């Protein structure tokens, strides 16, 4: 299996893997921080794009079911985001690693001045070996909750891609609740085949990832294939893998995954 040896990596942690029973999975976060800390020790530059604010808010309020009301979801996100960051920060501190919280919306990437500012800030954090924990600012950007796909980051897939592109990352690693792109939905069809490597995203590739075939999370597999196609054209490789797999095993090709190769 191909070993992906990128120095700068954006790791996107989606809702489907960071939550359990619709609440933040504390055990998962603790374990993943340990794996990221090990990558940092090996000289990797890591940027995290993480969902989970609503799940953290649900834990704080003792809710067992995700509300449908948009305002309530925004309120939960506002309460949960500081808690989400605190959990990351406390865990990274155990390894002597500092973390910084960055909240963004689509507006930050449509304005050249703001885009440059974001880039400068994250680069500065990388130089001082501080890990940026990035999430969408749901308090001022409610499109994800209302279903407006024109402006939403669809569970942070597009946000992670924008960060990877602007930060000149060598790899975008998307962690979700499946091992990668399948020929059809593995949760519904036992004959589903894992596509381990994609040299070029074709119409057939996109067909495999349609919502009708693989509706696996808020963003779904289609948005992951979509951003992988865009990044490949810009020379950035994308990997989609199961969040329960060890990060070093994913990068070394020793765990199941789908690699969308960058165009040379």
pLDDT tens, 11-37?
A: 999 888 998 877 789 999 999 999 999
pLDDT for the residue 140: 62
Least confident of 161-170, 192-201, 219-228: 219-228
Q: Is pLDDT above 50 for 117?
A: yes
Residue closest to 110 by CA, chosen among 153, 147, 71, 72: 153
Q: Please compute, for residue 162, the number of CA atoms within 13 A of its CA located in the half-sphere on the CB side.
A: 21
pLDDT for the residue 167: 96
101, 85 Cβ separation under 8 angstroms: yes
176, 242 Cβ separation under 8 angstroms: yes
pLDDT for the residue 55: 84
Give CA angle at 231 (243, 16), nearest 5°: 25
pLDDT for the residue 141: 57
DSSP state of 105: -
pLDDT tens, 241-252?
A: 999 999 999 999
pLDDT over 90 percentage in the chain: 61
pLDDT tens, 136-184?
A: 886 665 555 454 443 444 568 999 999 999 999 999 999 998 899 999 8
pLDDT band at 56 (very low <50, low <70, confident <90, very high): confident
Structure tokens at 165: 């592109």
CA distances from 245 to 46, 88, 253, 255, 257 (A): 17, 19, 11, 7, 9
pLDDT for the residue 190: 83
**Average pLDDT across the chain, whole number:** 88
Domain spans of the chain?
8-260
Q: What share of the chain is helix, strand, coil (3-state, %, to 5)?
A: 45, 20, 40
Which comes out higher in pLDDT, residue 140 or 7? 7
Structure tokens at 101: 């919280």
Contacts of 135 (CB under 8 A, 6+ apart): 49, 50, 51, 52, 53, 81, 84, 101, 102, 103, 104, 156
Residues 158-172 as b/e (b if ≥16 CB within 10 A, e otherwise) read bbbbbbbbbbebbbb
pLDDT for the residue 54: 86
139, 109 Cβ separation under 8 angstroms: no
pLDDT for the residue 99: 98
Q: Is pLDDT above 60 for 211?
A: no
DSSP state of 182: B
Structure tokens at 235: 């020379």
13, 240 Cβ separation under 8 angstroms: no
pLDDT for the residue 152: 46
pLDDT for the residue 148: 44
First to last CA, the chain: 19
Q: Class of 8-260 per CATH?
A: alpha beta
Q: Where are the alpha helices (DSSP H) in the chain?
A: 15-18, 26-41, 53-61, 70-93, 107-110, 112-127, 143-146, 157-166, 203-208, 220-233, 247-252
d(CA 178, CA 222): 13
């Amino acid at each position: 299996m191909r070993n992906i040896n990128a120095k700068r990596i954006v790791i996107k942690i989606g809702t489907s893997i960071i939550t359990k029973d619709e609440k933040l999975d504390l055990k998962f976060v603790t374990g993943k921080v340990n794996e990221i800390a090990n990558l940092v020790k090996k000289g990797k530059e890591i940027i995290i794009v993480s969902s989970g604010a609503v799940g953290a808010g649900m834990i704080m309020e003792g809710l067992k079911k995700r509300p449908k009301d948009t305002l309530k979801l925004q309120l939960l996100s506002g309460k949960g985001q500081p808690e989400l960051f605190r959990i990351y920060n406390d865990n990274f501190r155990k390894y002597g690693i500092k973390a910084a919280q960055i909240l963004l919306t689509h507006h930050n990437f449509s304005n050249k001045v703001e885009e440059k500012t974001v880039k400068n800030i994250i680069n500065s954090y990388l130089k001082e070996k501080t890990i940026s924990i990035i999430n969408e600012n749901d308090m001022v950007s409610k499109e994800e909750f209302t279903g407006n796909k024109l402006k939403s980051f669809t569970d942070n897939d597009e946000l992670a891609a924008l960060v990877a592109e602007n930060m000149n990352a060598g790899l975008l690693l998307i962690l979700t609740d499946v091992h990668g792109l399948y020929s059809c939905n593995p949760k519904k069809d036992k004959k589903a085949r894992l596509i381990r490597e994609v040299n070029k995203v074709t119409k057939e590739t996109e067909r495999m990832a349609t919502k009708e075939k693989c509706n696996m999370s808020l963003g779904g597999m289609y948005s992951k294939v979509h951003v992988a196609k865009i990044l490949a054209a810009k020379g950035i490789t994308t990997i989609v893998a199961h969040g329960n797999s060890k990060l070093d095993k994913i990068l070394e090709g020793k765990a199941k995954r789908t690699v969308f190769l960058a165009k040379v």
